[in-house]
């Protein structure tokens, strides 16, 4: 399979980047998308050229580091999947693929396709935790939790912090990320201690870091590789109002 790859290349955060076109021959439809990039880098290294820098770790859709904007969509054309889960069988011989990093003020480019997502960690530091010493894992039935609440908390906790929601949002809002972290704690008894400050502090930190506001366009839910619902943003808004009124 022969492909035309238009890839964003940027030497560092201060350099001016641009798209560079590569003609890749011999790619296989059996490859994953990241394996295809590995193959490209192997060919570049053999030519004495600088390989394309991109992030990856588990390659199992768990870690969230494989954050690429592919043909105008976060993580590519497949729904509810990370870039590492995207297969080259999705493409055909002769296709042109445009690959670029997340675009957000709060996610500055480090190099090529790698962005700095430390902003997410700073938001978590502002309130995405419980201060109580929980000790060892308690017996499952010692603190009764309604099944509905447990299921919703688990859904929220599936967020992998990849940043697709920010990249897909026209305002570069981090509300779905914040909402998932607030919901997984607000729905459980252990998370109520910080309820009055958690949402307020996390939203304030997001504003400080340059994330935009949510206007409920729904792009974040569509592009989230874990399918996290917008309903969690509604819960975040309720928690925020209760903390401020």
Tens-digit pLDDT profile for residues 165-209: 999 999 999 999 999 999 999 998 888 888 889 999 999 999 999
CB 180 within 8 A of CB 159: yes
pTM here?
0.92
Q: Of 5, 25, 8, which Cα lies nearest the Cα of 17?
A: 8
C-alpha dist (Å) from residue 224 to 10, 95, 141, 190, 220: 26, 25, 32, 27, 6
What's the pLDDT at 162?
Answer: 97
| Average pLDDT estimate for 8-22 | 96
Digit-coded pLDDT (tens) for 98-108 = 999 999 999 99
Give the separation between CA 201 and CA 61, rounded to whole angstroms: 29
3-state class percentages of the chain: helix first, strand second, coil last, to nearest 5: 40, 15, 50
Digit-coded pLDDT (tens) for 143-174 = 788 889 999 999 999 999 999 999 999 999 99
**Residue whose structure tokens are 């641009």:** 18
What's the pLDDT at 134?
Answer: 64
C-alpha dist (Å) from residue 9 to 13, 54, 196, 225: 11, 10, 44, 25
Q: Look at residue 43 and tell me whether its pLDDT is greater than 90.
A: yes
Domains present along the chain, CATH in parentheses: 3-111 (3.10.20.30), 117-130+145-244 (1.10.1060.10)
């Amino acid at each position: 399979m022969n492909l035309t790859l238009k890839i964003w290349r940027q030497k560092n955060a201060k350099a001016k980047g641009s798209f560079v076109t590569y003609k890749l021959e011999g790619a296989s439809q059996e490859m994953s998308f990241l394996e295809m990039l590995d193959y490209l880098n192997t060919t570049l290294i053999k030519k004495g050229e600088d390989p394309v820098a991109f992030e990856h770790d588990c390659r199992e859709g768990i870690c969230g580091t494989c954050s690429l904007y592919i043909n105008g969509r976060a993580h590519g054309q497949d729904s509810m999947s990370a870039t590492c889960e995207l297969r080259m069988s999705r493409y055909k011989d002769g296709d042109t693929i445009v690959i670029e990093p997340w675009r957000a003020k709060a996610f500055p480019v480090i190099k090529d396709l790698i962005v700095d997502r430390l902003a997410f960690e700073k938001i978590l530091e502002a309130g995405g935790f419980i201060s109580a010493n929980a000790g060892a894992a308690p017996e499952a039935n010692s603190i009764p939790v309604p099944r509905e609440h447990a299921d919703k908390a688990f859904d929220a906790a599936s967020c992998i912090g990849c940043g697709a929601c920010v990249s897909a949002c026209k305002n570069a809002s981090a509300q779905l990320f914040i909402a998932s972290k607030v919901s997984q704690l607000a729905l459980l008894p252990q998370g109520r201690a910080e309820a009055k400050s958690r949402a307020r502090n996390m939203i304030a930190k997001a504003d400080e870091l340059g994330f935009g506001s949510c206007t409920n366009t729904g792009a974040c839910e569509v592009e989230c590789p874990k399918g996290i619902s917008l309903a969690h943003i509604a819960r975040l808004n309720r928690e925020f109002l209760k903390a401020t009124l």
